[in-house]
């Protein structure tokens, strides 16, 4: 059974008395442990779809199922638990809290989950994740003392802090140089393969998307399997 399923999902926004459809009748099924990329031009609906899958924005119609349960049929507390415990978010920018050190930024998700933020096991995990992204020696550094690429790696480590089943990454390499971009992509592949964590990555870069095990494409809110050059039928059910 697929771990994450979207069934005929549509998202419409009202703007100045008119409506804008950001996602149109999107359907997909993602197996546990898959590494999926979603490409598309700016405004194609990629980020909106990611927000729907992450429990951040309910669809106007259609359903999202996680492990067989209707995500948006849950009450507010249960939906918050899903976002905190099951999903790790990597946003377009690192979005670190500048008053906290790299290690303290990693400890935040554990605190939100209710784990003791200073507990030995939690702190050990934070340090192990920083080691994984090559920043163990920067644990006590503040974001202002880190390069852009280092901040992004801290943000990726933070996304894995609560051992989520699903990582949702929105343009995770958008502001990085080519060398750091390659390092970040290697990190995603390493953690995906080592832990079996499902990764869904939005990117405008078809070359980066090609490194994922499965590729989807969005055009004007419609979702299809493959990269645009492969000639998919726009709006087809994206299922593997």
Residues 6+ apart with CB under 8 A from 103: 123, 126, 127, 130, 139, 140
Fold of 4-239: Rossmann fold (3.40.50)
Q: What average pLDDT does the chain have?
A: 87
Distance CA 52, CA 146 (A): 32
Tokens 């930024």 belong to 105
Average pLDDT over residues 1-15: 90
Task: Indicate the pairing of strand 87-90 with strand 18-30.
Answer: unpaired
Q: Residue 1's pLDDT band (boundaries 50, 70, 90)?
A: low
- Read off φ and ψ for residue 156, nearest 5 degrees: -65, -45
Is pLDDT at 239 greater than 50 in this prediction?
Answer: no
How many percent of the chain have pLDDT more than 70? 91
Is pLDDT at 237 greater than 50 in this prediction?
Answer: no
Residue 196: exposure state from Cβ atoms within 10 A (0-12, 13-18, ≥19): exposed
Output the pLDDT for position 224.
93
The predicted model scores a pTM of 0.85
Distance CA 194, CA 174 (A): 25
Nearest alpha carbon to residue 201 among 37, 73, 74: 37
3-state helix, strand, coil in the chain (%, to 5): 40, 25, 35
pLDDT digits (tens, 9 = 90+) for 52-108: 999 999 999 999 999 999 999 999 999 999 998 899 999 888 889 999 999 999 999
Distance CA 153, CA 86 (A): 20
Output the pLDDT for position 114.
67
Domain boundaries defined on the chain: 4-239
Output the pLDDT for position 135.
93
Average pLDDT over residues 160-186: 84
pLDDT digits (tens, 9 = 90+) for 11-22: 999 878 888 999
pLDDT digits (tens, 9 = 90+) for 118-145: 578 899 999 999 998 889 999 999 999 9
Distance CA 3, CA 66 (A): 6
Output the pLDDT for position 234.
37
């Amino acid at each position: 059974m697929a771990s994450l399923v979207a069934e005929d999902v549509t998202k419409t926004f009202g703007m100045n008395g008119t409506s804008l459809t950001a996602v149109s009748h999107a359907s997909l099924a993602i197996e546990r442990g898959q590494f999926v990329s979603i490409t598309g031009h700016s405004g194609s609906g990629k980020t909106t779809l990611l927000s729907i899958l992450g429990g951040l924005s309910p669809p106007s119609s259609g359903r999202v199922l996680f492990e067989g349960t209707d995500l948006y049929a849950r009450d507010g507390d249960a939906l918050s638990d899903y976002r905190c415990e099951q999903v790790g978010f990597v946003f377009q920018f690192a979005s670190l809290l500048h008053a906290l050190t790299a290690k303290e930024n990693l400890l935040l998700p554990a605190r939100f989950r209710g784990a003791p933020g200073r507990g030995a096991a939690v702190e050990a995990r934070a340090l192990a994740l920083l080691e994984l992204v090559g920043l163990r020696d920067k644990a006590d550094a503040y974001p202002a003392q880190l390069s852009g690429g280092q901040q992004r790696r801290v943000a990726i480590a933070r996304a894995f802090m609560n051992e989520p089943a699903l990582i949702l990454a929105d343009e995770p390499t958008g502001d990085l140089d080519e060398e750091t971009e390659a390092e970040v992509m290697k990190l995603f592949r390493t953690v995906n393969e080592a832990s079996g964590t499902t990764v869904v990555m939005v990117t405008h870069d078809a070359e980066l998307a090609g490194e994922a095990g499965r590729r989807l494409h969005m055009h004007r809110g419609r979702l299809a399997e493959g990269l645009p050059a492969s000639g998919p039928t726009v709006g087809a059910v994206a299922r593997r």
